[in-house]
Chains A and B, each alone.
Chain A
Amino acid sequence: MELRLESRTVNEAIDSLAEFFRTKQVVACMGDRFALSCLCLAEPIRRSMVGAATTEDEGLELVLRTQPSLLICSSDLESGYGIDLLKRVKAELPTCQLLILLVRETKEVVQEAMEAFADAVVFKSSLGSGKGDFIQALATLAEGGVYFPEEIRKLGAAQSPRPDLPPLIEELTERELEVVAGIARGLTNQAIAESLAISLETVKTHVVKAKDKLGAADRTQLAVMALLYGLIDPLG
């Protein structure tokens, strides 16, 4: 496979991440030493990297010693298991954001990663495909959100908590769903406008229409109703 390296959108996103990494301390843990070395040497991550390891136990020891704000981990390690490392890190350092790269693309593995409270989950196979999942994951973490691309959401989505709800009279549009998902991630209207590259007034209009369709009185009710109907991912 020839990697797709020239993407203006991805390159712009990488540039915008420089500020995020100025305030972060990053630990990386991967079974592939070459990939790990490349990640540690890559801008803009390089200056934030406080440690790297190839095994689960070494990774945990590094996290405990350096207290990073972000752990980038792959599920495959030289020994141990990346998702188990996530669970151990979450138990010891709950403020640390967790990004995991998954090798196996099964429902069980995705759900396992979500249950380990990964903040971002990316399939390894998406790297170099031009989708930009890895960069988008970092950008979302920079905003304090969680990132699960669509194929991962589909695999990992839990059942709607209230499948007995009456059917919606009018479906929400894709854009309205994006706006509601932004609201459920804690974004302000201004931040949603910037992330979707639309005007603030347009965001407000989508919010009003989404509220009408779901019978919600305010932003919180809107997010809750969208979650109840399973319109947005519980963790996204």
Chain B
Amino acid sequence: MPPAYDLILQRRGQLQTETVQVSDAAAAWRLGRDRYPKCIRGVVCRDHSPTDAAEPDSRS
């Protein structure tokens, strides 16, 4: 399954998110710009792998 990305969208002064599953960050940006060209403010790769887990490795 492709990784999940949250698109951060600004609508009527509010920030909202929408989750999409695409191959990489570039694809997420492309999708965001295509669907929401006036709203896209950011793209976040969700915590989907040990590499992206925020907590530092307890072994270190």
A contact residues vs B (CB 8 Å cutoff): 90, 94-95, 117, 143-146, 161, 183-191, 200-201, 204-205, 207-208, 211, 218-220, 223-224, 227-228, 234-235
Contact of B60 among A188, A201, A211 (CB under 8 A): A201
Question: Provided the pairs A90-B37, A161-B14 are in contact, do residues A208 and B8 lie with their beta carbons within 8 angstroms?
Answer: no
Contact of B10 among A161, A189, A191 (CB under 8 A): A161
Complex Cα–Cα for A125 and B56 (A): 42
Complex Cα–Cα for A71 and B51 (A): 34
Contact indicator B56/A204 (Cβ below 8 Å): yes
Contact indicator B33/A94 (Cβ below 8 Å): yes
The digit string for B23-60, where 1 denotes a CB below 8 A from any CB of A, is: 01111111001100100011111110101111111001
Complex Cα–Cα for A190 and B49 (A): 11
Query: B residues within 8 A CB of A144?
Result: 24-30
Name B's interface SS: mixed
Complex Cα–Cα for A220 and B41 (A): 12
Complex Cα–Cα for A143 and B43 (A): 12
Contact indicator B29/A186 (Cβ below 8 Å): yes
Contact indicator A201/B57 (Cβ below 8 Å): yes
Contact indicator A186/B43 (Cβ below 8 Å): yes
Closest residue of A by beta carbon distance from B51: A190
Query: B residues within 8 A CB of A227?
Result: 8, 15, 41-42
Question: Provided the pairs A161-B10, A161-B13, A201-B56 are in contact, do residues A183 and B44 lie with their beta carbons within 8 angstroms?
Answer: yes
Pairs across A and B, CB under 8 Å, 27 listed: A94-B30, A144-B27, A144-B28, A161-B10, A161-B13, A161-B15, A184-B41, A185-B42, A186-B26, A186-B29, A186-B42, A186-B44, A188-B51, A188-B52, A200-B51, A204-B56, A205-B56, A208-B54, A208-B56, A218-B47, A219-B44, A219-B45, A219-B46, A219-B47, A220-B8, A220-B46, A227-B15
